[in-house]
Amino acid sequence: MQKMLSHGAVAENNWTVLQMPVETIPQGNILLPLKYWLEHSAELDQQAGLVGVWLESDEEIEALADDVAQLPVIALNFPKFVDGRGFSSARLLRDRYDYQGEIRAIGNVIQDQLFMLQRCGFSQFCLADEVDLEAAAKSLNDFSDGYQTGADQAQPLFKRLR
């Protein structure tokens, strides 16, 4: 079973990420590509497992504006770890759409981004298979605080502490 970091701890990842074109839908929990979700969400009633959606970095999070309440997981893919669009997508999900579910970082995500990803609202992280997740998890706390507002903090540091 794949593992991931979820809320700071190592957890089972029993979700299947489906790619376009989606032909057969497997049993269990699935993450559907945004395009498929937008066209077929009404037909997914009989699905036994949980259904979430994943977005490519160039897909706009606005497309899910009306759907967020029914999605337990929204995953944001990083085709390359230096593609920082997912950071803004996560902030919009939390700040603009009040999304309360899990935001999962998938694709090429590295340990050294965890602190910032978390501040932007990510709660789950799928790192590369060879990564020691226990060791990587400490990077969630690379910094004890930040100057700026974030999904985790509506007030800048100067307002809270100075």
Partner 1 sequence: MYIYDQYDQKLVDERVEQYRDQTQRYLDGKISEEEFLPLRLQNGLYVQRLAPMLRVAVPYGLMSSTQVRKMAEISRKFDKGYVHFTTRQNIQLNWPLLKDVPDILAELASVQMHAIQTSGNCIRNTTTDQFAGVAADEIEDPRPWCEIIRQWSTIHPEFAFLPRKFKIAVCGSEEDRAAFLLHDIGIQLVKNDAGETGFHVFVGGGLGRTPVIASSIKPFLPKQHLLTYLDAVLRVYNRYGNRNNKYKARIKILVKAWTPDVFAERVEAEWAQILARDVDGVAQLTSGEVERVKTFFPLPDYQSVDEAAMDAALQAQASDNVAFSRWLERNVRNQKQPGYAAVTLSLKPAGVAPGDVTDRQLESIAGLADQFSNGELRTTHNQNIVIADVIKSQLFDFWQMAKADGLATPTIGTINDMICCPGGDYCSLANAKSIPVAEAIQRKFEDLDYVYDLGDLELNISGCMNACGHHHIGHIGILGVDKKGEEWYQIQLGGSANKNAALAKVLGPSLSRNDVVEGIEKLLDVYVENRLEGEAFLATYQRIGADKFKERVYAKDA
The reply to whether 7 sits near partner 1 by the rule CB under 8 A is no
**Of residues 14 and 141, the one with the C-beta less far from partner 1:** 141
Q: Is residue 8 classed as helix, strand or coil in its secondary structure? A: coil
Counting contacts by CB under 8 A, is residue 120 touching partner 1?
yes
Of 71, 85, 86, 90, which Cα lies nearest the Cα of 152?
90
Give the one residue of 84, 101, 133, 137 binding partner 1; rule: CB under 8 A.
84
Cα dihedral 146→148→149→152 (10° resolution): -20
- Single out the residue of 56, 126, 116, 106 nearest to residue 85, CA to CA: 56
Q: Pick from 54, 87, 99, 125: which binds partner 1 (CB under 8 A)?
A: 87
Residue entry with tokens 């694709």: 107
- Run of H or E including 159: helix 157-161
Strands of the sheet containing 51-55, edge to edge, are: 9-13, 2-6, 124-125, 102-107, 73-78, 51-55, 29-33, 15-17
**Beta bridge partners of residue 78, listed in sequence order:** 107
Considering the rule CB under 8 A, would residue 69 count as an interface residue with partner 1? Answer: no
**Which range of residues in 15-23, 27-35, 46-54, 142-150 is near partner 1 by CB under 8 A?**
142-150
Of 13 and 89, CB closest to partner 1: 89
Instruction: Give the x/- contact pattern for partner 1 in 35-64, rule: CB under 8 A.
Output: -------------------------x----
Residue whose CB is less far from partner 1, 44 or 128: 128
For residue 104, state whether it binds partner 1 (rule: CB under 8 A). no
* Residues lying near partner 1 in the complex (CB under 8 A): 60, 81-85, 87-89, 91, 95-96, 110, 112-113, 115-117, 119-120, 139, 142-150, 154-159, 161-162
